Chains A and B, each alone.
Chain A
């Protein structure tokens, strides 16, 4: 008797859906709460002098607790950047647009954010930029409280 086997199945669905709680951590939360008040909060390490923005609780070099928080105005210089030209799922901005690492003056670390109000071909390393905050009713404990950075204007960040 011949053993006639069934037509094999080739693939099966293997979906996962998992719900989680994100815990920002005490250090990061101080920074995020500052953003909701248009503040960029930094902290310095007494041991090595490094200024963290955003600040954790401890210096990752010295393992010691950072000093009291203080505010930076967010003006800084572009340390590197790229021009995003391709579309992808979930994209919220029409390409092309500029994503940059910004070295805020007074900070030893860099922030990543959008650079707008300038043609992508005019952006360069070293360009001075300032944060543009969203309207008060859109402020949140999120980096999205800064809409983008733009070339520094004469009147400063709040002009």
Chain B
């Protein structure tokens, strides 16, 4: 295995709706910030990987727009995933492991505000035979999962509100968060259900943002960052799709990804100081903490997705936030989790570590 690290990270502010910028316009200042942080020229980047989704953008091959921000000419080595950009990071990590180059730039763009009604869009991620024809409410499958999680004894509506309250308070220290406030759980519980037992605060607010991570291998990483955030283990797994054949209160794919990441890393999720979890819904924190085996880690100190969920950039932001604690010298071992698909169907786990 090569040593591969996050050496730079930046994101644009999470906004409920950015009506000023096109794709490249959102992304370009963030790319500029990361390359300036490590003092490289874009020509020094050996590989570019990105993640976004046409169903959020509303156009086929929409990500081509964003290539203006990385400069596709002269021809670059480049790849795109139609998913959360955390999966682009996994691809870039693999590419660096293969020794094809030393520096990779990963970006994610998520624009959840462009669809006029996400209820029209979200069924497109469901199976086309048994689920999509019913066009369920965008949060309905998560609502089923939340009830299963409560009835399995893993959380409660009170517990979910406490998670949301904690995340929104943490986000007060995150100027890039979309939502932040000091509000107690009892007050949150007065709100009506959106898809019971989910209330508005239980659902991560969708919006727009871009995120960029620069990865570097070996000596390049040591040259570019004072304290690289080494990606010691990366793995992703998925569960079967149809919710009727899953125990929705569990996430076996998260457990498997965490197990494999720990084998690669030589330490496990139980050893980390900070965990950034891609909780699209508040009840998922309980499922994920259990599946990962967290012990005493600070969960989502950035506020997490409950304070801002810029569609397909959300998972990559988790990696960036987990790396930031190491780059800044505030933690030695951190974890990032990303998800894709309905009710935590696909899950990615990264274990990061700083030099002592």
Contacts from A to B (Cβ < 8 Å)? 12, 14, 16-28, 56-58, 60-61, 63
Contact = CB atoms under 8 A, between A and B. Distances in A.
A21 B129 CA distance: 29
Contacts of A63: 28, 31-32, 35, 42, 69
A60 B31 CA distance: 11
Interface stretch (B115-123, B220-228, B279-287): B115-123
Chain B: number of interface residues, binned into ranges: 20 to 34
A56 B71 CA distance: 13
B21 interface: yes
Contacts of A61: 71
Interface string B4-40: 0000000000000011111111001101100100000
Q: What 4 A-B pairs have minimum CB-CB distances, sorted nearest first?
A: A25-B22, A20-B58, A19-B116, A60-B68
10 contacts: A12-B133, A14-B132, A16-B123, A18-B121, A23-B19, A27-B22, A57-B28, A58-B24, A60-B69, A63-B42
Interface in B132-164: 132-133
Nearest to B22: A25
Interface string B48-76: 00000001001000000000111100000
A25 B21 contact: yes
B120 A16 contact: yes
A4 B120 CA distance: 38
A18 B128 contact: no
Contacts of A27: 22, 25
Given A18-B58, A21-B116, A22-B114, 16 more contacts: A12-B129, A12-B133, A14-B132, A19-B115, A19-B116, A19-B117, A20-B115, A21-B114, A22-B58, A24-B22, A25-B20, A56-B22, A58-B25, A58-B28, A58-B29, A63-B28
Contacts of B254: none
Contacts of A19: 115-117, 120
Contacts of A24: 22
A25 B27 CA distance: 12
A89 to B, nearest CB: 16
A21 B71 CA distance: 26
Interface of B: 18-25, 28-29, 31-32, 35, 42, 55, 58, 68-71, 113-117, 120-121, 123-124, 128-129, 132-133
B24 A56 contact: yes
B69 A25 contact: no
Interface centre among A12, A19, A60, by most chain B C-beta atoms within 10 angstroms, is A60
Nearest to B24: A56
B25 A26 contact: yes
B245 to A, nearest CB: 21
A69 to B, nearest CB: 16
B21 A26 contact: yes
Contact of A20 (B19, B28, B116): B116
Contact of B25 (A21, A22, A25): A25
Nearest to A19: B116
B133 to A, nearest CB: 7
A56 B58 contact: no
A14 B58 contact: no
A18 B55 contact: yes
Given A14-B128, A18-B58, A56 B25 contact: yes
B24 A26 contact: no
Interface centre among A20, A27, A58, by most chain B C-beta atoms within 10 angstroms, is A20
A17 B120 contact: yes
Contacts of A12: 128-129, 133
Given A16-B124, A23-B18, A26-B20, A57 B25 contact: yes
Nearest to B29: A58
A20 B42 contact: no
Contacts of B133: 12, 14
B312 to A, nearest CB: 16
A63 to B, nearest CB: 4
B114 A23 contact: yes
B114 A60 contact: no
